[in-house]
Every structure is written in C-alpha cells, then in structure tokens.
Amino acid sequence: MLFSRANTELVPPDRALGGRADYTFAVPDVSAVSGNPIKPPFPAELQTALFGLGCFWGAEEIFWQTPGVWTTAVGYTGGYTPHPNYEEVCSGQTGHTEAVLVVYDPDQVSYEQLVAV
C-alpha cells in the first residue's frame, strides 16, 4: 500500500458506524506478558503514555522489551463509534486509530526514550 490513494480524511461523526453499548470481547485484568494490571488505577510512582502508531500489535511488542515499561495494553482511541471492533476500525468508518497504552517507571525510562522506541 506504499503508493495507494487511501482516503486520509476522518469520517464525520454523523456518518460513523453506530457501535454498541459494551465491548465485544472480554477485557482481561492483567497483562499476559508482564502479569501486571492493564487497567487503572496504577501505582502512583508510574506514568502513562498513549501512542497511536498504526498497527498496535507490533508496536506493543517493542514496548514489552523496553526496560522500565511496567505494562502495556492495546485498543482504539479517538473516534465516534462506541466500543468498535477491529473490522469496524479498519473500515475507516469509526474515526478511531489503533493505540498502545504504555505504563512506565519514569525513574527507569523517560517519555522521550519511549517516543524514540
């Protein structure tokens, strides 16, 4: 898709897919990788960052390997459709982007270092 002419405009709110009242999947309490919680509240000494990087699976795996990262979670951010699923987000009709939540210890890794990952 390097030279594709994909639409780069966001869907207007009134044309976004309707979505649903709840998630279409179970959201686990802890990360299968770190064993730490993926939902707040997080320990007070930690900070959070949210990265919209396109495909979240590859990006999340890179953060797993970064010293100072306590836990990660993937999902969708922005957008208008309540609780969209993967296919809906990929359709471009929700206004969302794939994102990675990174919970990290700022004494071990800085935000600037995470951005450089």
Domains along the sequence of the chain with CATH? 49-117 (3.30.1060.10)
Lowest mean pLDDT among 1-5, 56-60, 88-92, 97-101: 1-5
State the catalytic residues.
55
For 22-60, write each residue's pLDDT tens digit. 988 888 999 999 999 999 999 999 999 999 987 888 899
Q: What's the pLDDT score for residue 1?
A: 44
81 has a pLDDT exceeding 90: yes
**With bands split at pLDDT 50, 70 and 90, how would you rate the model's confidence at 66?**
very high
Buried b / exposed e along 15-41 (16+ C-beta atoms within 10 A): ebbebeeeeeeeeeeebeeeebbbeee
**With bands split at pLDDT 50, 70 and 90, how would you rate the model's confidence at 5?**
low
